[in-house]
Structure 1
Amino acid sequence: MKSTNHRTPQKPLLVLPIEIYEREIDGRLWLAGEALQRGYQVLIAHHGAAFLSNLSDCGILYKDHGPGLSKLCEYHGWKDPSLWIGALDEEGLVFRDKNTYRKTRVDGKALQYINDVFFVGDTQKNAAGIECFAAHTHISGHPRFDLCHVKHCQSSPEEPSGKLHVLINTRFGSLFPLGEQTSTTLRHHLTNNPSLRKTVANELVIFREFMALVDLLSSDPKIKITLRPHPAERPDYYRKRFQHTDNVSVQRSFGVIHAIQHADVVVHDGCTTAIEACLMGKVVIGQRPPLPYTSMGYTDFCNQFSLPTTSAQETYNLITSLRSRQSYHAISNRMQALREAMWPSHHIANWNSIGAAMKILDVVDQQKLPPRPAPVLSLWHRWKIARETLRRHVLKGCSTCPPITSIVKKLGPALQQIQLTDSKFPVVTVDDIVRRTEYILGERFTVQNIGNNCFLMCSS
C-alpha cells in the first residue's frame, strides 16, 4: 500500500474490515473511537476492497476466525511479517453446540495467520477449543456492548404515556435472502431437501405471526412501529406491504443501537438485538408461535433475554398493557430480573460494565505498531478498482439480456455475488460515517473516503 508524503503526521494504523455493514459498523466505530484517542489512525473498509491488498506495518482486527479469513489472507496477500492480525467473532454468541461452532466458525488454516483471538466470553472460548494453536487468546467482551452501556446511561427512562414506539426486528433470511428473488426461495419449500423445507416452513409460521402483529399495532394510531429487517434480509417486501401505512416505517439506516435507544419496546425472534435491547433497559419480547417442526425450540440463546409470547394477540396485549403504570412497573421488574440473571456472565465478559474496546486495544498497544503516514491509493489499487468497476458494469449490462446463450447463463452466479456484496455493504458516504460517528462517540473526527467504501479516520 502506498503512503502519503512525509509531511503527513505519522501514526500507527489499525485496519477494521467489515463484511455486513449494518451488523458490524456500530461496534467498529466504538472501537475506532478508543483507538483514535490512543493515537492511532483507523481504516474502516469493506473486507474485499482492493485497498486492503498488500498491507504492511499495521494491525488488522478481523470479524471472525473462520474459513473466510484464510481466503482473504491469500486474496489480499496478508503475509508480511510486519502485520499483526487479530480476530473477534461477530457471531460468537450464536451457536447451537460446540461441534457446530468449531465446524463452521473455527478454521485451522485461518488461525495460522492470527496472532491474537478475542472472545466475547468464557462460553465462546470453550466452544472454540483452539488451545492447540499458537494464537494468544483473550476474553474481552464485545465493543458493541460497551456502546450499549454508554447509551443506556445517556437515556432517561420514562414511563410510556399513551404513545408507544415499538421496534420490530425481523430475521427471515430464508424467505428474503440477499441477492435472490423471493419466489426462487419459496420454491425451496417444495423441494426434497428435508432440512431446508423444515427451516422455511418454521420461518413462514413465525413470519405470518409477525405480520399479524404489525397489522394489529398499526391499527392503533398512538403506536409508532419501526420495522427493521435483518442485515442479511432483503427489505423490499416490507416496504411494499406497508408503504401506505402511516405509522409503520421500514428502515435500518441509523444503526440498531440508535433504533433501540429510541424505542419503548423491542420485538424479535432469536435475534441478537434482544441482547443489546435487554442491556439498554428496554422491554424485550420474543414472539415465537407453535411451530410445525419443534427442533427450533425457545431455548435459543438470544430468546433468553426476552419475555416470551406465542401469538401476535398476546404480544399486542403485553405491549398495550404498558400504558398502565402498574403493568409497566411489573414488566420492568421482570426485565430487570432477566438482566440480573446474567450477572456474572460467562457468555458476555462486559455485561456488567464497559471495557471490551480497552482490553482489545491494550493487546494492540503491546504490538508496538510503527508510526506511518496515512495510506493512499497507489496506481495499482486504482487499476484494480477500475477493473472491478468495469466488470460490474459489464455484468449488470448483460443481466438485462435474455438468457438465451450459455455464456449469458454463466454470468448469473457472478452477478448474484455482486448483488449480495452490495446488499451487505451498500455505498456509504463520508457524511454517513460522520453522522454515525457523532452519534456513537459524541464528537467529530476527521473522516476521508480514500476508495470504494474505504474510510480513513484520524483525530482532528
Structure 2
Amino acid sequence: MTHFQKTAIIPRVISRILYLPIETIARELDANLLIAHEALKRGYIIVLGEKREVQRYARELGGGVYIYKHWEALFPYRFGDERRKHFFYAGSHQEGVVYIDDTFFLRRGIEQNKTHLLDVYFARGKAQEALLKRAYPLLESVVEVTGSPSFDILRDQYRTIFQERCELLSRTWSPFILVNTNFTAGNKTPHEVEDVLVEREKSSVKNLGRSLTENEKSFFLGLATYKERLFQEYVAMVRALSVRFSDTNIIVRPHPSENHLNWRRELHGLKNVRVIYSGNVIDWILASKAVIHTGCTTGIEAWAVGKPVLRYNPLGKSSEYESELPNKFGRYFATIPELEVAIKNIGADNKSTDSFVMQGDFLKPYMDSVSGELATVRELDSIERRGDIGPKLVYEDIVRNYRTFVRSLRIIIKRLAYALFRHPSITRFLLGRHEAALRASRLQKFPYLSRRYISRMLRKFEMIDSMKPRGLRFVRIDVNTYIMTVTDTV
C-alpha cells in the first residue's frame, strides 16, 4: 500500500503513474513531453522533472512506471530491494545509437549481472538488439526494439513545434553556421579537478560495480588526449571561418558536459562568433545554414531535418575514439580550406544535397523509429503488454498531500535558494569554489523547467494530433518537478 492511499477521499479517477526524470533539459525535455502527451491520452498521471527530484517523489508515492537510463543506481530502488516490486523499470542506453563501438558498448553500457533485471530494455534498432542478445542471453526476454522518442520529434508531422523558436533564432542570428561539439573528455568542466582515471574509476564502481580494467585505463587516457586535440583544432577552425565568412555568424554549441567557459575564453573577441547553449538543438539546426560536427548525434539529427552536414576532423576520417555511425552522414573534410569551399557552395535554400533515401535505409537497423510507428507509442505499448505496471493512484489524493502549507512553504524557500545560487559569485562566497563549479555544471544541464513551456508544448502536440483541448491539470511539487493529468482522455 502506498502512502497516499491512506487519504480519505472518494476516488474520482484512478490512474497509473508514469515517472519521467530529466538530466539535461535541452537534450531530453521535448522528447519526454511527447511521451507525456501519449501517456496522458492513455489516462496516466505524469511526474516529470529534474532527475533527483523525480526519484525522490517516486519513493514517496511508492510505485509506478519509471522510464530512464538503464543504470540500477538511477532508479528509485536497487533491483534487489523489496520495494522495487511496486515499480515497472524501463531502461535504455543513455547515448542511444552514438557510442564508440560494440565492444565499448558491451563493456561500459551494460551492467552485466543486473540489466536483465529491468522489466524492459528499449533497444534503438535491430542491430543493437542482436548485439545485446548475442552477448548476454539473459536479456532475451527484456530487450525490445522501439527506436527513440528523440527521433520521433524530428519527423515532419512534429516540425511545427520548433517553428516559433526557429523563427526567433533566424531573426536574431541568421545567417549562421552551427558548430556542435562533443569534446567533454578533453574539455572538462571546472568541478572535475581530479585525474581523469580517478573520475572514471568512481563512475565505474558506481554504475558497473567494478574497477576499470587496464585496457580501459589506457583507452580513457587516449580518449582525453584525442578530445583535447580536437578541441584545439576546432578553436582554430572557428577562428578561420570567422575571418573567411565575416558576414555570417558562427554559433558554437558545446556538449552540456563540456567546459563552456573554455570556449568563451578561446573565442573571445571574434565579433561574429557566439558560444550558446540553450534550447533544443533542433531549433538551432533548423535555423542554421549548415551544421559542422564530428562524432555527434547532431550529425544524424541535422540529416533527418534536411540540413547540410559537414564533418570536420583533421585528425583522420576514422578513429577508435569516435562513434562511427554519426560520421556516416553528410560529407567529410580534413582541412579548413576544403571546409570553406563547401560552406561557400551551400545553396541559397540551405538544403542538403545528400541522398537521404540511401542514408535513411542505412540508419534503419540502428534507429528503427526512423520510419514506421512512433517510438513513443511502441514504448508505452511494450510497457502495457508486459503486465503489472505498478499501483493505481488518485490525482486529487496526491495533490492534496502536496498542497499542505508546510510543503508549499518548502518549495518557495527552495525556489528562492535556487535563484540565489544561480549567481556564481554568491555561490563561491557561500559554498566555496568547488561546490560553486559543481552547481554551475548542473545548471548548465538543467537551468529551469517552467510550467508555461510544458503547457504550450502539450497543447502543440494536441493540435498536431487534431485533438480537442483536454482539461490539463498540473501542479508544481518541487522547484523543477510537476505532476499532471487530464480531466478527459481520447
Rounded to whole Å, the distance in 2 between the matches of 1:100 and 1:197 is 15
C-alpha displacement of 1:179: 4.7
8 A Cα contact 1:93 1:120, kept in partner: yes
**RMSD, aligned α-carbons:** 4.2
Question: Which residue of structure 2 aligns with residue 430 of structure 1?
Answer: 451
On the 8 A contact 1:141/1:350 being kept in 2, the answer is yes
Structure 1 position 137 matched with structure 2 position 143? yes
Find out whether 1:150 has 2:156 as its counterpart: yes
**Alpha-carbon deviations, 1:61-99, whole Å to 9, x = none?**
122x235346x5239978243321111223131333434
Q: Is 1:270 aligned to 2:275, yes or no? A: no
Cross-structure match for 1:227: 252
The letter for the 2-side match of 1:249 is R
Report how far residue 262 of structure 1 moved. Answer: 2.0
The corresponding residue for 1:279 is: 304
- Partner in structure 2 of residue 249 of structure 1: 274
> Matched residues in 2 for 1:265 and 1:440: separation?
28
366, 370, 389: which is aligned to 1:347? 366
Q: Name whichever structure is richer in helix by fraction.
A: 2
Q: Is the CA contact 1:86–1:116 (under 8 Å) kept in the aligned structure 2?
A: yes
Find the counterpart in structure 2 of residue 408 from structure 1.
Answer: none
Would the aligned equivalents of 2:311 and 2:331 in 1 still touch at CA under 8 Å? yes
Taking structure 1 as reference, are residues 402 and 417 closer, same or farther at Cα in structure 2, changes over 3 Å only? closer
In structure 2, the gaps of 5 or more residues are 164-169, 200-216
CA distance in 2, matches of 1:278, 1:111: 32
Any residues of structure 2 matched to 1:110-121 within 5 Å, and which? 110-111=114-115, 113-121=117-125
Relative to 1, partners in 2 of residues 1:153 and 1:402: Cα closer, same or farther, differing over 3 Å? closer
Gaps of 5+ in 1: 404-410
Number of aligned residue pairs = 429
Q: Is the 8 A contact 1:51 1:454 kept in 2?
A: no
Instruction: Within 5 Å, give how 1:294-313 maps onto structure 2.
Output: 295-296=319-320, 300-313=324-337
Answering whether residue 67 of structure 2 is matched by residue 58 of structure 1, we say no
Partner of 2:315: 290
* Alpha-carbon separation, structure 2, partners of 1:340 and 1:98: 21
**Post-superposition shift, 1:142?**
0.5
Matches within 5 A, 1:333-372: 333-336=353-356, 339-342=359-362, 345-366=364-385, 367=387, 369=389, 371-372=392-393
Q: Which amino acid aligns with 1:349?
A: D
Deviation of 1:440 after TM superposition, in Å, equals 6.5
Does 2:31 match 1:27? Answer: yes
User: Residue 436 and residue 258 in structure 1: after superposition, are their counterparts in 2 closer, same or farther (change >3 A)?
Assistant: farther
Q: Give the 3-state SS of the residue equivalent to 1:148 in structure 2.
A: coil
CA distance in 1, matches of 2:93, 2:286: 24
Rounded to whole Å, the distance in 1 between the matches of 2:454 and 2:80 is: 25
1:16 matched to 2:20? The reply is yes
Distance 1:457 1:259 in 2: 29
Change (3 A) 1:238 1:146: same
Alignment of 1:91-102 (within 5 A): 91-102=95-106
Name the counterpart of 2:234.
210
* Structure 1 residue 147: Cα displacement: 0.8
Partner of 2:205: none
Q: Classify 1:208/1:81 alpha carbon distance in 2 versus 1 (closer, same or farther; 3 Å).
A: closer
Alignment identity in percent?
21
Give the TM-score normalised by structure 2. Answer: 0.73
Q: Is the 8 A contact 1:12 1:58 kept in 2?
A: yes
Question: 51-60 vs 269-278, which deviates more?
Answer: 51-60
- The SS at the match of 1:167 is strand
Residues 66-215 of structure 1: matches in 2 within 5 Å? 66-69=71-74, 72-74=76-78, 79-108=83-112, 110-111=114-115, 113-129=117-133, 130-133=136-139, 135-150=141-156, 164-180=175-191, 195-215=219-239
Residues 336-378 of structure 1, C-alpha deviations (whole Å, 9 max, x = no match)? 26524416x2111112245211111112333465542233466
**Aligned-partner residue type, residue 60 of structure 1:** Y
Structure 2 letter corresponding to 1:206 = L
Contact 2:235 2:266 in 1 (8 A): no
Q: Secondary structure at the match of 2:130?
A: helix
